Amino acid sequence: MVDVRVQIRHPMESGSRKDEAGELIPAWYITRFSLTAGDRLLFAAQLGPGVARDPLLHIRVDGLAAGDEVLAAWEDSRGETQSDRARVEAL
């Protein structure tokens, strides 16, 4: 088993908070997250406005070895996407 931890830097606004002027802050949150290795989907999730700012995801994955590359990708409610790659390290 390999522990994969991904911290996503994102404000995760729910759309229900107000700014200093009392105006609603528009919703802006991660809607989809996936973790892949090559063409193998390891994990997929739909997220929503209830997830905290800069979420930290911890996923235990079987079948990965030191040197394997994983790709974490996400999309937010504005349609913006981002991804990041990392190699599995041996401990």
Predicted local distance difference test score (pLDDT) of residue 64: 93
Structural domains counted in the chain: 1
Q: Which amino acid is at 44?
A: A
Predicted local distance difference test score (pLDDT) of residue 45: 97
Residue 86 — φ and ψ, nearest 5°?
-150, 155
What is the 3-state composition of the chain as percent helix, strand, coil, each rounded to the nearest 5?
Answer: 0, 50, 50
Which domain does 73 fall in, by range? Answer: 2-87
Q: Report DSSP state, residue 39.
A: T
Task: State the pLDDT confidence band at 8, using cuts at 50, 70 and 90.
Answer: very high
Exposure of 59 in the CB half-sphere (CA atoms within 13 A): 21
Q: Which amino acid is at 45?
A: A
Give the CATH number for residue 77.
Answer: 2.60.40.10
Interval 39-91: pLDDT, tens: 999 999 999 999 999 999 999 999 999 999 999 999 999 999 999 999 999 87
